[in-house]
Structure formats: C-alpha cells, structure tokens
Amino acid sequence: MKKLLLLVTVLLPFFHEITGSLKIFLNNALYENKTSLTISDPAIIRCEVADNTENETLIWYRGTLEVNISSENSVNVSTVCIPELTVEDNGVSFTCLLKSNTSIKRSLQLDVQFNPRLSGDTQIRAEEGKTVQISCGFKANPAASMFWRQNNSLFTLPANYKQDLTMDTLQLTIEKVTKKDTANYTCVALLPNGNETTRVFELIVGDRQVGLPIEAIAAAVVVGALMIAFGMFARREKIFNMCMKGRHDTAM
Ligand SMILES: *[C@@H]1O[C@H](CO)[C@@H](O)[C@H](O)[C@H]1NC(C)=O
Ligand SMILES: *[C@@H]1O[C@H](CO)[C@@H](O)[C@H](O)[C@H]1NC(C)=O
Ligand SMILES: *[C@@H]1O[C@H](CO)[C@@H](O)[C@H](O)[C@H]1NC(C)=O
Ligand SMILES: *[C@@H]1O[C@H](CO)[C@@H](O)[C@H](O)[C@H]1NC(C)=O
Ligand SMILES: *[C@@H]1O[C@H](CO)[C@@H](O)[C@H](O)[C@H]1NC(C)=O
Ligand SMILES: *[C@@H]1O[C@H](CO)[C@@H](O)[C@H](O)[C@H]1NC(C)=O
Ligand SMILES: *[C@@H]1O[C@H](CO)[C@@H](O)[C@H](O)[C@H]1NC(C)=O
Ligand SMILES: *[C@@H]1O[C@H](CO)[C@@H](O)[C@H](O)[C@H]1NC(C)=O
C-alpha cells in the first residue's frame, strides 16, 4: 500500500506535463473506426487539440512526408483537404502531431473504395512451342476474387497452364503453346456484391519462326567486317596516292 502511494506521487508530476490531447475528424465526423470513402469524393481531415493550456502548433505527415501547411492553419486546429480522392490515396495515412511534443499524435488511414481497375497489354502474339505469360494488373478496394475465363467460359487449367496471384497481378503462364491455345482470355475481378469487371487479352499463336541461328549471323558479320578492312588495307596505297595527287594539284 505504501509502495503504491509512492508510485502515484512519483508519477503525478509527469501527468501534469501533458500539454494536450488530439482528436481527428474526417468530413466533420469524429474519426474512431475505419470509415470508407468513395473515389472522387472529397476528404477533409481536421485535427484539434483539447485540454491544452496555451497555443499549440500542429504538424502533419502524409505517410512519411511532412505536409506543408500555413502558419494560420496550425494553431490549436488544423485542416488538410483532398478535393478529389484517387486510387493512389487509398491506404495512405495522415498523422497529426503536437509540435511541442511529437509523441502526442493521432493517425488515420484512408479507405477509398472504387470499382476494380484492370490493366495490361491485351494483344499477345506467340510462336508455337514457346512459353507465354498473360499479365492482368489489378487494383481493387474492396478486395475482388480474381480468375480467368477462356473464350468466355470457365475452364480447368490444363497441366501446362499455371496461374499466379500477387497483390496486384493475376498471371497466366502457358508452357509450350500450341495453336489450340489461341483464344480470348478474360481476366475477371468479381466483387462480393456480384459485380464483375473484366479485361480481354487476345492470345494468337502463330507458326514457329524459322530463321538463321544467331551465332551464324554473328560469324557472318565478323567475316564481312574483316573483308572490308582487308579491302581498305589493299587499297590504302591507292587512296593515299590520290590524296597526295590532290594536294599537289591544289598547291599548283
Ligand atoms: C467504433 O467501434 C467500436 C467497437 O467496435 C464501437 O463500439 C463504436 O460504436 C464505433 N464507433 C463509431 C463511431 O462507429
Ligand atoms: C489555443 O488554445 C488555448 C488553450 O485553450 C487558448 O488559450 C488559445 O487562445 C487558443 N488559440 C487560438 C488561436 O485559438
Ligand atoms: C496564439 O495564436 C494566435 C493566432 O495565431 C495569436 O494571435 C496569439 O497571439 C497567440 N497567443 C500566444 C500567447 O502566443
Ligand atoms: C510551403 O508553402 C509556402 C507557401 O505556400 C511556400 O512558400 C514554401 O516554399 C513551401 N515549402 C515547401 C517545403 O514546399
Ligand atoms: C510528451 O508526451 C508524452 C505522452 O503524453 C509524455 O509521456 C511525455 O512526458 C511528454 N514529453 C514532454 C517533454 O512533455
Ligand atoms: C476460341 O475461339 C476462337 C474463335 O472462335 C477459336 O478459333 C479458338 O479455337 C477458341 N479457342 C479455344 C481454346 O476454345
Ligand atoms: C476475341 O474477341 C474478339 C471480339 O469479340 C473477336 O473479334 C476475336 O476474334 C476473338 N479472338 C479469338 C482468338 O477468339
Ligand atoms: C458495377 O460495375 C460497373 C462497372 O465497373 C459500375 O459502373 C457499377 O456502378 C457497378 N455497380 C455496383 C452496384 O457496384
């Protein structure tokens, strides 16, 4: 009991040193839990000091970079505004700190919802026998289920087909392609509400190219270059003489 009392009296002076606490408001509502926003909408983020005894200056960070705010917008209350949210704003965090004691801070992470965005080169040409990769880049919030359709039908992947999914890419790898693999491959992003976003990738498999092996071409180039050099050497005397003659002529 005595020990506890001692601890309290030791800690009390420290509690008095706390100069304020912070509150964050998102679009005028106190930010407590994850709040979803919609793409293209504005986001107004306000930070307020409470329980302070004097002017407190606020500073902001967007991710790890400090935000440039005016001095008028930094005393006791400060607001940062994003007029139109974009895909790039999703997941970005904003932190408001007390300049006099940066260990007093509040953060918020933007949750920007949008219809899935798919990307990637949609025309793929390949030679028979080669390995082909079809890459469908995607961005989605909320998360979407990603899969492929072949000529508009769901299909079970044959043994030489491989599917990979990363944070932002759905990839289909086909080993030793044949002309039978020629088809439209549709990358599908399916949302929990049943809404789908698709992007069609057209794969056309053509004949194997018959061409000269690279080494043979390289050897031919070397021989050709050498022959020209020898030719120059053989004619050097003649060229030299022509110049001499020319110089002699102008000197005349
Ligand atoms: C935030 O979440 C807590 C617990 O999950 C809940 O009690 C509270 O009502 C929520 N606040 C808001 C503003 O939604
Ligand atoms: C900031 O807050 C302090 C404490 O409440 C107050 O004395 C001061 O006038 C405020 N400053 C402004 C600019 O509102
Ligand atoms: C508090 O801030 C306001 C507005 O920036 C300023 O007018 C006032 O002089 C400041 N007070 C003190 C005590 O610094
Ligand atoms: C911050 O903004 C002010 C006024 O808009 C400008 O003069 C200053 O150069 C900016 N500083 C940085 C680091 O961007
Ligand atoms: C800064 O705030 C923290 C947390 O409230 C507190 O523990 C610490 O003593 C404060 N530091 C100063 C220098 O006031
Ligand atoms: C996909 O459709 C095209 C055009 O109708 C057809 O030539 C091709 O054989 C089909 N591919 C597959 C794998 O069904
Ligand atoms: C892919 O779809 C387009 C448009 O429907 C069609 O013109 C084309 O023939 C299809 N290609 C294949 C390989 O099925
Ligand atoms: C479904 O997706 C389309 C296109 O991506 C979009 O225009 C539409 O608003 C979405 N509908 C719903 C209910 O989300």
Q: Domain with 80 in it: what CATH number? A: 2.60.40.10
Q: Whole-angstrom Cα distance, residue 154 to residue 198?
A: 13
How far is CA 58 from each of CA 42, 50, 94, rounded to the nearest angstrom? 22, 12, 13
Mutate to test the pocket of ligand 5, among 17, 49, 54, 56 (most ligand atoms within 8 A of CB): 17
Residue 244 belongs to some domain of the structure = no
Average pLDDT over residues 3-11: 45
| E strand or H helix at 98 | strand 93-98
Residue 38, ligand 1, Cβ within 6 A: no
User: Which of 54, 87, 114 corresponds to the end of one domain?
Assistant: 114
| Range picked from 3-12, 27-36, 162-171, 226-235 for highest mean pLDDT | 162-171
Question: Mean of the pLDDT values across residues 153-171?
Answer: 95
E strand or H helix at 109? strand 101-109
Instruction: Kindly state the tokens that stand for 229.
Output: 């050099």
The rounded distance, in Å, linking the Cα atoms of 210 and 55 is 79
Pair (109, 127) in one structural domain: no
Are both 21 and 63 inside the same structural domain? yes
Q: Three-state SS for 46?
A: strand
Task: Looking at the CA of residue 55, tell me the nearest atom of ligand 2.
Answer: 1
Q: What is the tens place of the pLDDT at every residue in 65-93?
A: 999 999 999 999 999 999 999 999 999 99
Q: What is the pTM of this model?
A: 0.72
Spatial strand order of the sheet with 21-26 comes to 29-30, 21-26, 43-50, 77-82
Pairing assessment for the beta strands 123-127 and 43-50 based on DSSP bridges: unpaired
Ligand 7 near 206 CB (within 6 A): no
Picking from 58, 93, 114, the residue at the C-terminal end of a domain is: 114
* pLDDT-based confidence at residue 242 (cuts at 50, 70, 90): very low
Nearest atom within ligand 8 for CA of residue 116: 5
For residue 125, the SS3 value is strand
Residue pair 100/59 in contact (Cβ under 8 Å)? The answer is no
183 and 140 in a common domain: yes
Q: Which atom of ligand 6 is found nearest the CA of 151?
A: 1
Residue 247, pLDDT > 60, answer no
Cα 66 versus chain centre, distance = 21
Q: How confident is the model at residue 142, as a pLDDT?
A: 95
- Give residue 76's domain range: 2-114
The pLDDT tens digits for 92-144 are 999 999 999 999 999 999 999 999 999 999 999 999 999 999 999 999 999 99
Residue 225 pLDDT greater than 70, yes or no = no
Q: Do 127 and 199 share a domain, yes or no?
A: yes
For strands 77-82 and 43-50, give the pairing. Answer: antiparallel
Above 70 in pLDDT, residue 243?
no
As for how many domains the chain has, the answer is: 2
57 Cβ below 6 A of ligand 8: no
Q: How confident is the model at residue 209 (pLDDT cuts 50, 70, 90)?
A: confident
**224 pLDDT tier (thresholds 50, 70, 90):** low
> Between 162 and 250, where is the model more confident?
162
Cβ of residue 52 lying under 6 Å from some atom of ligand 2: yes
Residue 29 lies in a domain: yes
Residue 16 Cα to ligand 3 middle (Å): 22
Which ligand is nearest to the Cα of residue 53, counting in written order? 2
Same domain, 70 and 109: yes
Quick check: is 186 in a domain? yes
Does the pLDDT at position 251 exceed 70? no
Give yes or no for residue 198 CB within 6 A of ligand 7. no
Instruction: Clarify whether residues 107 and 13 are in a common domain.
Output: yes
User: Which of 114, 142, 158 is the endpoint of a domain?
Assistant: 114
Same domain? 73 vs 135? no
Residues 103 and 129 in one domain: no
In sequence order, what are the beta bridge partners of 141? 114
**How much is the average pLDDT of 44-61?**
95
Residues 89, 24, single domain; the answer is: yes
Residue 46 falls within a domain, yes or no? yes
> Does any domain span residue 239?
no
Inside any domain, residue 97: yes
On whether residue 242 sits in a domain, the answer given is no
Q: Is the pLDDT of residue 229 over 60?
A: no
